[in-house]
Amino acid sequence: MASPDVPSRYACAHVAALRAAAALLAAQARPHASKRRQKNAWVLLAEVAPELAEWAAFFAGGARKRAAAEAGSTRAVSEREADDLVRDADRFLAVVEQRLGLIAHAPVAGTYLAVEHPGAAHRAG
């Protein structure tokens, strides 16, 4: 995700995480025959894989910013927020790959994969 466009970088990173969540849901979710209210992928992820609830909450919290970034807002996210989300999405993808027994992707330059919770890049400095 080397786009020089900050909103695009943020939106693409968020969508990448959403696609990883969808892959995990497709592999692990069991459909229920009910007429309950529809839930978004992040809510479903927290239900299907409670150990990933923190990741789900983290990415759910960025959905509005992603929508603003997709709409072209240049004030919705900062360059640092976009870069941090790229790293966090990369880490989340690694977690999903491991859970699904897949071969790990090549990480985004400057990231490491030994992170069990979201936002570690923000705390690590």
Secondary structure of the chain as H, E, C letters: CCCCCHHHHHHHHHHHHHHHHHHHHHHHCCCCCCCCCCCCHHHHHHHHCHHHHHHHHHHHCCHHHHHHHHCCCCCCCCHHHHHHHHHHHHHHHHHHHHHHCCCCCCCCCCCCCCCCCCCHHHHHC
C-alpha 52, offset from chain centre? 11
Q: What is the pLDDT of residue 30?
A: 75
Q: What is the pLDDT of residue 88?
A: 97
Token duo for residue 5? 């466009």
Query: Measuring CA to CA, which residue among 77, 93, 82, 86 is closest to residue 110?
Result: 86
pLDDT in tens, 73-109: 989 999 999 999 999 999 999 999 999 999 888 776 6
C-alpha 47, offset from chain centre? 16
Q: What is the pLDDT of residue 33?
A: 61
pLDDT in tens, 25-70: 999 877 666 666 778 999 999 999 999 999 999 999 999 999 999 9
Output the pTM of the full model: 0.78
